[in-house]
Amino acid sequence: MAYTQAELQAKVALGRDAIFRVAPVGENGATPQPTAFKELCLASEVTVGFENKSITFANFCSGGSDVEIPVGETGTLDLSEMQWIEDDAALLIMETAAREKGTVAYEFLPAGAGAGKTVYRGTFTVKGWKIKAAAAGTVTVDNPGLAAGGMPEKGTVSA
């Protein structure tokens, strides 16, 4: 499908409008309340997605040819470095989860906030946490090591 320049400008989402929010998962895996989510100020980018998994094998019945059987999917989540701000609520959620080996819920709004806009929701654990200071720069949190808790759910933002 071809778009006119005006149609393309109206449809393309700008990365600067995207929002990534985090909240601690409640007891027994309870979904956090909307007010519990805090916006994470990433320095450059976020990647949310999934990869399909399969088992590949060959046997006599297939004549030695490879046979692939789908066995599910695995979530993927990568965050860029973040500016370290000592009392930033979202960073505190992330660091606490790393220290206590807890689970974090996330909401990724690639087109920004607003009723009816797309949102991806999921969970992750923080596998590593490093703060870095450069003599000629700001203090940052390195790209944290994350383990996605499955395939993200795709929905829309409610009013």
Residue 53, φ and ψ in degrees, nearest 5: -110, 150
Question: Do the beta carbons of residue 42 and residue 80 sit within 8 Å?
Answer: yes
Q: What is the pLDDT of residue 109?
A: 96
Torsion of CA 141, 30, 151, 120, to 10 degrees: -70
**Predicted pLDDT of residue 27:** 83
d(CA 146, CA 103): 10
The whole-angstrom separation of Cα 155 and Cα 124 is: 18
Q: Which amino acid is it at 113?
A: A
Tens of each residue's pLDDT in the chain, 159 residues = 788 999 888 888 888 899 999 999 988 888 899 999 999 988 899 999 999 999 999 999 988 999 999 999 999 999 999 999 999 999 999 999 999 999 999 999 999 999 999 999 999 999 999 999 999 999 999 988 899 999 999 999 986
Q: What is the pTM of this model?
A: 0.88
Please tell me the predicted confidence (pLDDT) of residue 46. 93
Q: What is the pLDDT of residue 158?
A: 85
| Alpha carbon distance 142, 145 (integer Å) | 9
Model pLDDT, residue 80 = 93
b (16+ CB within 10 A) / e for 35-68 = ebbbebebeeebebebeeeeeeeeeeeeeeeeee
Quick one: how far is CA 69 from the chain centroid?
A: 27
The residue to which tokens 């399969």 are assigned: 54
